Amino acid sequence: AIGLWGWLIRFAAVLGVGVLTLWAVYRFEAGVYSPIGTWVVMPTHWSTLRRLWQHQAGGHRAFFMGQLSSEGWWYYFPVLFLIKTPLSLLVLLVVAAVTATLRAPPRGLAVVLAAGWRMQGSSPTVLGRRACSQRGLQTPCERERGGLGWSPVMIVFPVLYFAVSMASRIDIGYRHILPVVPYVVMGAAAVFSPLLKAPVRGGGLHRFRWRGVVLAGLIGWAMLSSLWIHPYYLAYFNALVGGPDQGYRYVVDSNLDWGQDLKRLKGYLDERGIERVKLSYFGTAKPEGYGIEYDPLPMPPPSSSSDFSPFNPEPGMYAISASNLQGALMEEPDIFDWFRHRQPMDKVGYSIFIYEVTERFEGRWAAVCYGPAPALEGDQILQMLGGSEVEIGRTAYFDCRSSWVYPAGTAPGWYVIPGVTDGPTVVPTYCDDTQVIFHGRRSSKSMGLTIYGGEGAGSESVHLAALEGSDGQPRFGEAARFLGYEIEPVRPAPGDDVILRTYWEVLKRPEFPLSVMAHLVLVGEAEALLVGTADGLGFPVENWQEGDVFAQMHFFTLPSGLAASVDGDAAEYVFNVGLYRLDTMERVPPAGFEADHLILGPVGRHK
């Protein structure tokens, strides 16, 4: 028996050979390791390890399936293995796993692993022959392995390595799990090889027929995949995610884009006679070194500032690296989100996306939600939308938690909605079918925002004509005209939450503050009971302009089990709606009505 000391001596010998080999790689370098001020061998190696640990501790911001994180994802490498490993190898691995499960005797794998790590016996083999023979098997190792040809080292090392990789916070590339691939290949081959040698019913030429065809097919498939992706090997993704064309939707960085296609970009531009391009490049090479004439767009820091309007880019040819498009290392990770909502006209080597912007969106207004604070100030918004080159005549502010506005006229414009609001907004009601132009996620430097495209009030005539009460449209003084209302749900039941939306057209901006009155009233035959109030105006009068149309939301809960506080069995709920001055609390009466308010409804009966 070797014994414990024998195994320790062997381990020390292997470790010594390993250290000497590594030291030879560093040309037997020796010197002072500055962090501890002590003479050591391979100081460069220890410095590199120290930087790696610091990198690991700080994390590395990466893109993964639409997410950005510096903390990493435990499932990053399993998914990466599935989408970047050739399908032929994955199929072979599945066949091997199924075969191993079917052919291995009960507890066979556990016995092999236990035997492999048992430090006894005179033989150095890791298969643990002594452990097998002690069980009285005729062919010790083969019986325990079920003829699979797997040794523990082929299982333990890749499993441990992969597990450590999954715990890493540096999720940037398939290259980090490449050491696992040879073990996968050898393990699958070790299982598949006995299948080729096993007898098949019929013998003769039938012996290898179907198994040989399967193996040849898998090998041919792998060869064709390599030929097909040539010469863009780094960008390989298998068919599970749509191939290299769709890989950027899942991962970038060294999985797809390592700056390798700059030379190809130069060739692409020359072939098409494109003299100048707007470029955001992910890499360390200098584009001018390849003769590329370009206007710099935002790039990973450190990079020079760029006069770029992310919400409304100017016309021109754009070349954007996939890693920058997804914001992997960008200071503002969503700076190119405008392009994400559009298909590129071409791709250079799968890693550089080509876009042609033919014209700018000619918006004339920006309606900015505050809830309670806007995502950007007025000057910032104008700059992001194109600055002085875009004639934005107006910026209107409103509270999208309780109101919506359609600026006067028919000209298109933008809605600027903050990513963080104090409470829910009405955006889903009014932007369900509206195109998202730009979406910026919340970060430590920004509350995030979403930009929607919209049309002016003149384009909403069909919607407004379908409102309840749209036939009368009484005026309230010189300030506004009532256009109609909507109730959601249409037939509320007791206990339901009810939303009343009142629509108004601005006739003239008043010199005094206003609010919209909305009261829920239970009306009987001879008396009425005030049940709830929801006054408010989320579009302050200082932002009004003649021709604007706005919707004001009023939120109620229809009472259930209300005591019979009014007479009669036919009591019903109605809304009393109007305008009143906030400075004097004086109501502004509707023209042509005796009352100083409108009565809308009924909306339900009291039971």
DSSP 8-state assignment for residue 269:
H
Mean pLDDT of 5-34: 92
pLDDT for 143: 44
pLDDT at 123 exceeding the cut of 50: no
Q: For helices 87-103 and 180-197, what crossing angle results, to 10°?
A: 60
Rounded to whole angstroms, the Cα distance separating 527 from 62 reads 66
Q: Which residue has the higher pLDDT, 129 or 331?
A: 331
Mean pLDDT of 515-526: 90
- Tokens 């559009």 correspond to 342
Strand partners, 493: none
pLDDT for 567: 56
Rounded to whole angstroms, the Cα distance separating 219 from 188 reads 13
- pLDDT per residue as tens digits for the range 131-189: 444 444 444 444 444 445 566 667 888 999 999 999 999 999 999 999 999 988 888 88
pLDDT for 566: 55
Which pTM was predicted?
A: 0.84
CA–CA–CA angle 391, 392, 395 (5° rounding): 165
Rounded to whole angstroms, the Cα distance separating 146 from 373 reads 69
Rounded to whole angstroms, the Cα distance separating 417 from 400 reads 8
- Tokens 């399936």 correspond to 65
Query: For residue 165, how many other CB atoms are within 10 A of its CB?
Result: 20
pLDDT at 48 exceeding the cut of 70: yes
Please give the helix or strand (H or E) that residue 279 lies within, else none: strand 277-280
Q: For helices 87-103 and 209-229, what crossing angle results, to 10°?
A: 150
Per-residue pLDDT band at 495 (split at 50, 70, 90) = confident
- pLDDT per residue as tens digits for the range 412-470: 999 999 998 999 999 999 987 678 999 999 877 778 999 999 999 999 988 899 999 88
C-alpha gyration radius of the chain: 36
The answer to whether 601 and 575 have CB atoms below 8 angstroms apart is: yes
Per-residue pLDDT band at 104 (split at 50, 70, 90) = low
Q: What percent of the chain has pLDDT over 70?
A: 85
Mean pLDDT of 382-387: 84
CA 249 to chain centre: 9
Rounded to whole angstroms, the Cα distance separating 464 from 121 reads 90
- pLDDT per residue as tens digits for the range 234-274: 999 999 999 999 999 999 999 999 999 999 999 999 999 99
CA 177 to chain centre: 24
Across all residues in the chain, what is the average pLDDT?
86
Range with top average pLDDT, 31-40, 118-127, 497-506, 565-574: 497-506
Phi, psi of 177 (to 5 degrees): -115, 10
The answer to whether 420 and 448 have CB atoms below 8 angstroms apart is: yes
Tokens read off for 483? 């256009």
- Tokens 């501790």 correspond to 57
pLDDT at 212 exceeding the cut of 80: no
Which of 331, 294, 286 minimizes the C-alpha distance to 316?
294
pLDDT for 376: 85
Mean pLDDT of 588-605: 89
Mean pLDDT of 361-381: 89
- pLDDT per residue as tens digits for the range 272-283: 999 999 999 999
pLDDT at 113 exceeding the cut of 80: no
For the chain, give percent helix, strand, coil, nearest 5: 35, 25, 45
Per-residue pLDDT band at 128 (split at 50, 70, 90) = very low
Tokens read off for 192? 């598949």
Instruction: Say how many Å lie between the first and final Cα of the chain, rounded.
Output: 92
Pairing of strands 497-506, 549-557: antiparallel
